[in-house]
């Protein structure tokens, strides 16, 4: 029997020849009943006839021509994988981790309690508009909640900005020792990252303005900066915002803004201009680095654009509840800030006495400077032998430095003592 018809006509021919065999090129023989049964299982009438009777023989695996591998978008392969701070040492359970700028006092007990309560609602989808958290942030900082967007860490807000406002042919400007995610997010969007020099590890506004061109769409500065710990004043930031090309957005990364007394992180600049956005995080002061929660504040039009690409459920209810409890617990936040101020000053002075200088830090870490890269590497190895983890920052073009998180008093005393022993051993 030969297959020539499709649709109901094919089925009738199968039915009239129940015992006859059907031979199809390249396939085994089958009787009409089997062929009819297979045809009926198809979702599209005639698919079996078209696929079996007319198709060329199928090439088996191993005989197919080699295909070209999938090609990522331009810029993706230029991205170096982000390296976080080391968190463990093999064979040791007494490690002091001072490599990731975490809050040594942990999260607010109220945030821990809120996170635990959320466990009973894991079967429910979270809020899509984050209204409760946005309202809490707005009340604490005196902001308009409609101009706040929440994300998976401030990293996601940075990524949103690059996705929405930069692309092939555009430039994203950042400082010499700026946060690695600026470059990564720019390349992921197909844009070109451009680096402006700093002046003695401090953001140089003149250098940024000189590097800006009509192709500049975003300018990122961390204030205070990571990993340097330095910052510039409000007048300099305003001069930068006012001097940028039309259409360029200034992004103030305020991950460490809470550690500066009297600093609003750029709120006044955002409120007074249409080209300034501020980002913040719950990972540092609030001790919620393990939950990854951040937020941004900006002009209504920009926030509306960012929300168009934000996933509707990008934050879980546990994240939202813990963050809200944390930001509302001002007493615990003030206790953490007081501890950081005290131990930051103590640690910087203790290191300086041992011959390790640092710039005045406005954050929760010290950038310790050594004579050269070799000495910094040797000190890092010495500290690891003592069970202390700090952060090497050669990837930030500071190979002669080590970034040391300000821990609690015991941790600060232990790292200062170990650095002193290292320096004495090399004397």
**What is the per-residue DSSP string for 276-293?**
EEEEEESSSTT--TTT--
Res 178 pLDDT > 90: yes
In whole numbers, what is the pLDDT of the chain averaged over residues? 89
Domains in the chain: boundaries: 7-53, 85-102+331-426, 113-328
Q: In this predicted model, what pLDDT tens digit does every residue of 195-250 receive, in sequence order?
A: 999 999 999 999 999 999 999 999 999 999 999 999 999 999 999 999 999 999 99
Please tell me which residue, 28 or 190, carries the higher pLDDT value. 190
Res 287 pLDDT > 90: yes
Q: Report residue 386's pLDDT band, with 50, 70 and 90 as the boundaries.
A: very high
Give the residue ranges of DSSP H helices in 44-124. 47-53, 109-118
**Per-residue confidence (pLDDT) for residue 147, from 0 to 100:** 98
**Per-residue confidence (pLDDT) for residue 366, from 0 to 100:** 98
Res 13 pLDDT > 60: no
Q: Report residue 84's pLDDT band, with 50, 70 and 90 as the boundaries.
A: confident
Res 23 pLDDT > 70: no
**Per-residue confidence (pLDDT) for residue 216, from 0 to 100:** 98
Res 331 pLDDT > 90: yes
**Per-residue confidence (pLDDT) for residue 38, from 0 to 100:** 52
For 49, 160, 167, 297, 416, the CA distances from 145, given in Å and listed in that order, are: 61, 19, 29, 9, 43
Q: Which of 160, 199, 153, 195 is nearest to 178 (CA)?
A: 195
pTM, entire model: 0.82
- What angle do helix axes 373-385 and 409-426 make, rounded to 10 degrees? 120
Res 16 pLDDT > 50: no
**Per-residue confidence (pLDDT) for residue 321, from 0 to 100:** 98
Spatial contact of 249 and 281, defined as CB atoms under 8 Å apart: no
Q: Report residue 427's pLDDT band, with 50, 70 and 90 as the boundaries.
A: confident
Residue 262 CA to residue 264 CA, distance in Å, equals: 7
Q: Which of 97, 140, 134 is nearest to 334 (CA)?
A: 140
CATH assignment of 113-328? 3.40.640.10
Lowest model confidence (mean pLDDT) among 22-26, 133-137, 411-415? 22-26
Number of Cβ atoms within 10 Å of the Cβ of 80: 10
Please tell me which residue, 284 or 7, carries the higher pLDDT value. 284
Res 1 pLDDT > 60: no
Spatial contact of 172 and 186, defined as CB atoms under 8 Å apart: yes
Spatial contact of 368 and 395, defined as CB atoms under 8 Å apart: no
**Per-residue confidence (pLDDT) for residue 32, from 0 to 100:** 46
What average pLDDT does the segment 393-401 reach? Answer: 96
Res 57 pLDDT > 70: no
Res 43 pLDDT > 70: no
> What is the CATH class of 85-102+331-426?
alpha beta
Contacts of 343 (CB under 8 A, 6+ apart): 406, 407, 408, 409, 412
- Mode of pairing for the β-strands spanning 294-297 and 148-151: antiparallel
Q: Report residue 65's pLDDT band, with 50, 70 and 90 as the boundaries.
A: confident
What average pLDDT does the segment 34-48 reach? Answer: 46
**Per-residue confidence (pLDDT) for residue 63, from 0 to 100:** 54
Phi, psi of 420 (to 5 degrees): -60, -45
């Amino acid at each position: 029997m030969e297959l020539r018809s499709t649709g109901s006509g094919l089925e009738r021919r199968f039915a009239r020849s129940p015992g006859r065999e059907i031979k199809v090129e390249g396939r085994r023989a089958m009787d009409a009943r089997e062929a009819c049964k297979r045809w009926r299982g198809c979702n599209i009438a005639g698919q079996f006839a078209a696929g079996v009777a007319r198709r060329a023989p199928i090439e088996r695996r191993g005989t197919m021509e080699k295909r070209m591998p999938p090609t990522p978008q331009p810029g993706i392969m230029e991205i170096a994988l982000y390296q976080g701070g080391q968190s463990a040492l093999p064979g040791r359970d007494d490690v002091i981790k001072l490599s990731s700028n975490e809050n040594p006092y942990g999260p607010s007990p109220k945030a821990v309690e809120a996170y635990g309560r959320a466990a009973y609602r894991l079967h429910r989808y979270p809020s899509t508009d984050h209204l409760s958290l946005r309202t809490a942030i707005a009340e604490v900082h005196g902001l308009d909640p409609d101009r706040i967007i929440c994300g998976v860490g401030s990293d996601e807000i940075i990524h949103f900005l690059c996705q929405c406002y930069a692309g092939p042919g555009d430039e994203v400007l950042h400082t010499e020792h700026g946060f690695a995610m600026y470059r990564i997010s720019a390349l992921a969007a197909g844009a070109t990252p451009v680096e402006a020099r700093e002046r003695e590890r401090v953001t140089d506004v003149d250098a940024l303005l000189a590097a800006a061109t009509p192709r500049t769409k975003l300018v990122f500065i961390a204030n205070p900066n990571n990993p340097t710990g330095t910052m510039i004043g409000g007048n300099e930031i305003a001069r930068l915002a006012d001097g940028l090309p039309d259409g360029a957005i200034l992004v103030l990364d305020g991950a460490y803004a809470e550690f500066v007394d009297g600093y609003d992180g750029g709120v006044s600049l955002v409120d007074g201009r249409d080209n300034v956005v501020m980002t913040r995080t719950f990972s540092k002061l609030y001790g919620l680095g393990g939950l990854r929660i951040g937020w941004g504040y900006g002009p209504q039009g920009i926030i509306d654009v960012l929300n168009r690409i934000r996933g509707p459920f990008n934050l879980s209810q546990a994240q939202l509840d813990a963050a809200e409890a944390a930001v509302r617990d001002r007493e615990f936040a003030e206790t953490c800030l007081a501890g950081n101020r005290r131990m930051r000053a103590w640690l910087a002075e203790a290191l300086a006495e041992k011959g390790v200088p640092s710039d005045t830090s406005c954050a929760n870490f010290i950038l310790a400077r050594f004579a050269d890269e070799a000495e910094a590497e040797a000190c890092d190895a010495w500290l690891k032998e003592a069970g202390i983890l700090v952060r090497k920052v050669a990837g930030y073009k500071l190979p002669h430095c080590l970034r040391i998180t300000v821990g609690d008093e015991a941790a600060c005393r232990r790292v200062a003592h170990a650095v002193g022993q290292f320096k004495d051993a090399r004397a």
